[in-house]
Structure 1
Amino acid sequence: MAFILGSGSPRRLELLAQLGVTPDDIRPPDIDETPQKGELPRDYCARVTRQKAEAVTSNPEDLVLCADTTVVLGRRIMGKPRDAGEAAEFLLALSGRRHRVITSVALRKQDRLWQKDVVSQVKMKRLSDEELNAYLATGDWEGKAGGYAIQGPAGALIPWISGSFTAIVGLPLAETATLLQTAGYPLYKDTAS
């Protein structure tokens, strides 16, 4: 049985390492992540994760782990900004407000799929022009849902969360561990021998 991470995210790889898990292979799927018309954010996140898991090529005995993280303000899905201008737009919309971060994680073995969604609340402080411009200048917003990453420089902009920190980063560890154990992955195997 091979364990395949269906993600190119270095953050997810680092989080898996906290569980003592090293993927046998990394195969980021290439799927269309465009929200469907009228699709609610949680449904969107779950669908994209499921499609990622189904898109990764694997052998019948392999385990494939995929996840998706979505930043949501009201019903607005904030994907990865195209450029610094869109990142600024996202950050200004989030400034001084609470928003949700939804992370869905899926584990597939053959035709069996286990999936869990985790919803966390995040408050971003009211950003001054200086803070906004300094953050944008770091480039840390690139490739990040909502234009920020809590584990990077933007952590200084987040005074409060309710939920799972690791889910906000990109992979809810408690839920991921449960899925792995449910699928029969030897998560806490004795490595002393």
Structure 2
Amino acid sequence: MLKDLLKDHEIILASGSPRRQKFFQELEIPVTIDVRPVDEVFPEHLKEQEITDYLSALKAEAFKDLKDNQVLITSDTIVYNDGEALGKPKDHDEAVRMIKALSGKDHEVITSVCFTTSNSQKILNHTTRVYFSELSDEEIEYYVKNYKPFDKAGGYAIQEWIGLIGIEKIEGSYFNVVGLPTHLVYKTIKELLKV
């Protein structure tokens, strides 16, 4: 499919996330992984998708040397709860606090994806609403201790044990909660390459 049409182009994925890398394998889109350090700080006045749009574009700034046949993909995901952006927890206690704040309520998972070429940039975003049932302290402690979700926005992964027992429903893309709105990524790559 798309991979045959990409033979004259190189897709660079600037993400160390194994989940995002696996999505591209499953989409059958070959990518080169190139992760460059970025200080992920955003202005305090930004809200919701403004934050992820800003950070996904910020990550692209580390790449000043794109060739004409390269497409750079950078992305950022946050959990947005009660007007606060939850990134990745620093430690066990912060992960527990984050999940307790989500327990018994709904929140948004927002992902922005930035597509950068040598002469253009396009940013898209997708929001999924996630509904958590009430979780006990024991369930939360068990999850954090055994699954160590310190590389996950909001301190949890929908595809793990806590998602199986705690998520009542979602509105929007499931794959967005895992890490990428894959349907939009596929569509945008096709549009960018006019294929």
* TM-score, with length taken from structure 2: 0.90
Offset, 1:77: 0.4
Partner of 2:3: none
Q: Which residue of 1 aligns with 2:44?
A: 37
SS in 2 for 1:13: helix
Deviation of 1:48 after TM superposition, in Å, equals 0.3
**Cα distance, 1:160 vs structure 2:** 0.8
User: 1:46 is matched with which residue?
Assistant: 53
Matched to 1:159, the amino acid is E
Partner residue in 2 for 1:125: 133
Partner amino acid, structure 2, of 1:41: E
Map residues 128-143 of structure 1 onto 2, 5 A cutoff: 128-143=136-151
List aligned pairs for 1:11-26, cutoff 5 A: 11-23=19-31, 25-26=32-33
Instruction: Give 5+ residue unaligned stretches, structure 1.
Output: 187-193
Task: Give 3-state SS (helix, strand or coil) of 1:159's partner.
Answer: strand
* 1:190 corresponding residue in structure 2: none
SS for the counterpart of 1:55 is: coil
Gaps of 5+ in 2: 1-8
Amino acid at match of 1:119: T
1:73 correspondence with 2:81: yes
Q: Please name the residue that 1:27 is paired with.
A: 34
- For 1:73 and 1:150, how far apart are their aligned partners in 2? 16
8 Å Cα contact 1:140/1:153 also seen in 2: no
Alignment counterpart, residue 192 of structure 2, candidates 162, 183, 186: 183
Match of 1:189 in 2: none
Contact map agreement 1:140 1:152 (CA 8 A) in 2: no
| Count of matched residue positions in the alignment of Structure 1 and Structure 2 | 185
Report the residue type matching 2:30 in the other structure: T
Q: Which residue of 2 aligns with 1:164?
A: 173
Structure 1 counterpart SS, 2:66? coil
Secondary structure of 2:122's counterpart equals strand
Distance 2:128 2:98 in 1: 18
Structure 1 contact 81–143 (Cα < 8 Å) conserved: yes
SS of the residue corresponding to residue 179 of structure 1 reads helix
50-59 or 175-184, larger mean C-alpha shift: 50-59
Which of 7, 23, 45 aligns to 2:15? It is 7
- Give the distance between the partners of 1:51 and 1:61, measured in 2 at CA: 21
Corresponding position of 2:102: 94
* SS of equivalent to 1:93: helix
**CA apart distance, 1:117:** 0.6
**What is the Cα deviation at residue 111 of structure 1?**
2.6
Asked if 2 retains the 8 angstrom alpha-carbon contact of 1:115 and 1:179, the reply is no
- RMSD of aligned Cα (Å): 1.4
2:6 counterpart residue number: none
Identity level (%): 32
Q: Distance in 2 between the 1:118 and 1:67 partners?
A: 11
Structure 1 position 136, deviation (Å): 1.1
1:191 equivalent in structure 2: none
Give 3-state SS (helix, strand or coil) of 2:141's partner. helix
